[in-house]
A and B are shown apart, each in its own frame.
Chain A
Amino acid sequence: MSFEASYSGIGRLDRLSYRDTIIHRLDPRAKVVATMLFAIAVVSFPKYEVLSLLPFFLFPILIGALGDIPPGFIARKVVAVSPFAVFVGIFNPLFDPGVVSIAPGVPVSAGWVSFAAILVKFALTISAALLLIATTSFPGICRGLRRLGLPALFVSQLLFLYRYLFVLMEETMRVVRARDMRSFGVRGTGVRVFVRIVGTLFLRTVERAERIYGAMLARGFRGEVPSMRREALRLSDAFFVAAAGSFFVLCRFVPVPQMLGRLVGGLAG
């Protein structure tokens, strides 16, 4: 991924997260907890289970639709980060030669089934994580994490990182562009130049941090980033978590697709 592409990807997720929809208005804590429960429920399926995972697609689809998030954008990002899971999973068909039948007379290697399970789980968990950040502002997530009990120091790290991410990335982008324009192809992109660039950026960053600290002291900083918001969990947040949670439990323990298939088969027959 080129620098510009990844930068604009972050910027776009950030802009999406400030929309105002029914999902965006939910408390960040509710969305973090629901997404975690979702991930746990999805990965708790055994390795040969594919069909029972399918109902779980309803969760990201609903969040995306109600939160008005462009599905193509999320799908492209999911594909972009898939190589590691694909790389590890693709060996299943090689090392797992047992045969299963997915339909009468259609035998497949068991490895393909477990590979499909990995891919489905990957699509589910990654799209849910991306939708969390697309429907919740990052400062909102940080506040939620603080309320959920993470140390204040760690949460203030996240806030600082996020605040200066865009500043530093723009600065870095200018440096990289300057290097690329001076280095025709490969020359000048080696480790030696890279080390100088990173060293210079580091020193500038340290000086920036000193100025920031001075400015923060002048505004009364005493070691923690305060939040003026006093948000309480509303009924809608509780309902969201309860509804999502019971849906996950239902789909985890009841084989919905198989039941539906039998129902349809029964009606047809």
Chain B
Amino acid sequence: MHMADALLSPAVGGTFWAGTIGAIGYASKKLKDHLDDRKIPLMGVLGAFIFASQMINFTIPGTGSSGHLGGGMILTILLGPHAAFLVMASVLTVQALFFADGGLLALGCNIWNLGIYPCFVAYPLIYRPLAGDGRSAQRILVASLASGIVGLQMGAFSVVLETLLSGKTALPFGTFLLMMQPIHLAIGIVEGFVTAGVINYVRAARPEILDSSASSEPLAAGIPLRNVLIGFIALAVVTGGALSWFASVHPDGLEWSIKRVTGKGELPDQEHGLPATLKSLQEKTAFLPEYGFKPPANEPKAKEETPSWPAVDAGTSLSGLIGGVLVLAMALGIGWAIRAFRGKKII
């Protein structure tokens, strides 16, 4: 469920990056004060471990399809929330670079979706109270299931929100939600079982690892609620800001959908064919009726007025199409020429 650059608007991508950078800074600072150096290589190597174990497929019981590990909850239980968040962030960064999972702008969203919720919400609010002192295998199972499901549900919901706030898809909120949440419920259940299995395995083999992770993080028990509150306030600000930005850029889009709901008696009946289609397009995207080359604009205000589809008459539209093909051909030609010259060792 990696978010992708192509579905994001800069405002949403930027705000989630800001939130993520803040969380990385916060977690680093917290760890710097309370971490012994011993944990630094442990965290790094565990990041590599999560990465490697994500590539082991297993068969999901009853379905025959295969799944793989997310690992957020396992890390949080074993390392504590702050260290686990940094490890998740580094795993996702490497994934974004080497597997191109989502892209660079979406990386902020992805760290937020897959890191914040398991580490700072599901772990302190659900896992810790349910697992208690962590000595009972059944309680660990229940806690892992509940926290795994909640963490992934929040992450999936976050993906839906980010996508819709960005306004690049026409997918209705409810439909998208109905597609995302159930599948992540299934994934969350599997993830919960796997998490509990691994934790219980580690507890049986080396119980001191779990004990030390709980005791070396005295913060883990005390601060979460405040953290979570701050997180939610930040999220509210982020989404509120993004929402208002969205609304200000696409009032026409909203108006259009309202108009569609209330019935469209706007178009005169005699309009048919091309003018009608162009008019409906014009209403939908509200671009400037008089098409001209816009001067380079620096202010965001001017940017928002940039037409969505700057072609009003068909002639312009055709010439744009020709120009687009030409631009692409030129770019490819330049690349080909460089490669050709490089082959002959001229450059």
Contacts and interface: CB of A to CB of B under 8 A. Distances in A.
Interface of A: 3, 6-7, 9-10, 13, 35-36, 39-40, 42-44, 46-52, 54-55, 57-58, 61-62, 64-66, 68, 71, 77-78, 81, 84-85, 88-89, 91-92, 94-96, 98-105, 107, 110-111, 113-114, 117-119, 121-122, 125-126, 128-130, 132-133, 138, 141, 150-154, 156-165, 167-169, 171-172, 175-176, 186, 189-199, 201-203, 205-206, 208-210, 212-213, 216-217, 221-223, 249-250, 253-265
A88 B58 contact: no
Contacts of A39: 5, 13, 103-105
Contacts of A192: 197
Contacts of A156: 40, 44
6 contacts: A103-B317, A132-B97, A141-B97, A151-B29, A190-B61, A261-B326
A36 B293 contact: no
Given A125-B5, A198-B56, 11 more contacts: A39-B104, A81-B99, A84-B1, A101-B314, A104-B274, A150-B21, A151-B24, A161-B91, A167-B48, A198-B194, A260-B327
B244 interface: no
Nearest to B306: A46
B155 interface: no
Given A121-B5, A165-B94, A171-B52, A129 B326 contact: no
A205 to B, nearest CB: 4
B25 interface: yes
B24 A154 contact: yes
B311 to A, nearest CB: 7
A92 B171 CA distance: 6
A107 to B, nearest CB: 6
B264 to A, nearest CB: 11
What are the nearest 4 A-B pairs in CB distance?
A160-B44, A261-B323, A261-B319, A195-B197
Contacts of B176: 88
B136 interface: no
A125 B104 contact: yes
A168 B86 contact: no
Counting chain B CB atoms within 10 Å of each CB, the highest count among A6, A101, A152, A261 belongs to A261
Residue of B38, B57, B327 with highest tally of chain A CB at under 10 A: B327
Contacts of B330: 58
Nearest to B304: A46
A138 B93 CA distance: 11
B320 to A, nearest CB: 4
B interface SS class? helix
- Among B24, B169, B201, B318, chain A packs the most CB atoms within 10 A around the CB of B169
B45 A208 contact: yes
A259 B323 contact: yes
A249 B331 CA distance: 17
Interface string B291-311: 001111100000100111111
A81 B95 CA distance: 11
Nearest to A51: B324
Contacts of A255: 293-294, 310, 320
Nearest to A5: B55
Interface stretch (B123-131, B224-232, B279-287): B279-287
A36 B45 contact: no
Contact of A118 (B7, B105, B197): B7
B56 A194 contact: yes
Contact of A202 (B90, B198, B323): B198
B7 A138 contact: no
Given A117-B168, A161-B94, A51 B69 contact: no
Given A10-B98, A153-B31, A255-B320, A99 B280 contact: yes
A110 B310 CA distance: 14
B106 to A, nearest CB: 8
A101 B277 contact: yes
Contact of B202 (A203, A213, A250, A262): A203
A61 B332 contact: yes
A258 B320 contact: yes
